[in-house]
C-alpha cells in the first residue's frame, strides 16, 4: 500500500459524561494534532496517491468549524462524548465523503482507505481507519 499523510491541529474545549472520565468530566481544553492518511494500492498517472495540497485543504475544512469551540455546544455533537476516538470517525466521515465526491483530485474509488490519527497529548493517540466507500 502507498499512503500520503497530512497534518493539522485543532484547539478545543469539552467535557465528558461518565465516572470513567474522572476529572475530565469537567470542562477542559486540548490541542489535538490530527494526521489524515490517504491509502491506495496504486499511484495515479501523476505518480501520486493524492494531491497533498488538496488533502491538506480538506483536512483544514473539517477542522475549521471545530477550532476554538466548546464541543459541548456544537449542535451536531449534542449528547455525545467527543472523545479522541469519536473525533477520528467524525473527521474520517467528512474526508471519505469528499473523496467519494471526487473533491480530492483523485477518484474516490481509487483510494483504499483513510486513516485518521489524533494525538491528544504526548502520551496518547487514537486512530480510525476505514474504506472510503
Ligand atoms: N479512550 C479515551 N480516554 C480518555 C479520553 C479520550 O478521548 N479517549 N479523554 C480524556 C480526557 O479528555 C483527557 O485527554 C485526559 O484526561 P485525564 O483525566 O487527565 O486522563 P487520563 O485518564 O489519561 O489520566 P489520569 O490523570 O490518570 O486520570 C480521558 N480519557
Share of the chain above pLDDT 70, in %: 100
- Cell triple for 31: 490541542
Ligand 1: lining residues by beta carbon, under 6 Å: 21-24, 30, 83-85, 120
Nearest-atom index, ligand 1, CA of 81: 7
Q: How far is the CA of 61 from the centre of ligand 1 (A)?
A: 27
In this prediction the ipTM stands at 0.88
pLDDT digits (tens, 9 = 90+) for 54-107: 999 999 999 999 999 999 999 999 999 999 999 999 999 999 999 999 999 888
Summary mean pLDDT of the chain: 96
pTM for this model (two decimals):
0.95
Is the pLDDT at 133 greater than 90? The verdict is no
Structural domains for the chain: 2-131 (3.30.479.10)
Dihedral of alpha carbons 63, 68, 71, 73, sign: negative
Q: How far is the CA of 76 from the centre of ligand 1 (A)?
A: 22
Amino acid at each position: 500500500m502507498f499512503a500520503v499523510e497530512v497534518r493539522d491541529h485543532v484547539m478545543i474545549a469539552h467535557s465528558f459524561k461518565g465516572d470513567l472520565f474522572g476529572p475530565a468530566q469537567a470542562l477542559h481544553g486540548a490541542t489535538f494534532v490530527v494526521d489524515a492518511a490517504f491509502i491506495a494500492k496504486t499511484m495515479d498517472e501523476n505518480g501520486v496517491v493524492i494531491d497533498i495540497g488538496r488533502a491538506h485543504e480538506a483536512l483544514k475544512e473539517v477542522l475549521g468549524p471545530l477550532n476554538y469551540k466548546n464541543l459541548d455546544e456544537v449542535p451536531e455533537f449534542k449528547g455525545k462524548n467527543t472523545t479522541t476516538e469519536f473525533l477520528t470517525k467524525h473527521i474520517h466521515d467528512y474526508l471519505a465523503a469528499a473523496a467519494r465526491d471526487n473533491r480530492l483530485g483523485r477518484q474516490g474509488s481509487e483510494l483504499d482507505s483513510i486513516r485518521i490519527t489524533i494525538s491528544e497529548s504526548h502520551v496518547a493517540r487514537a486512530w480510525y481507519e476505514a474504506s472510503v466507500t
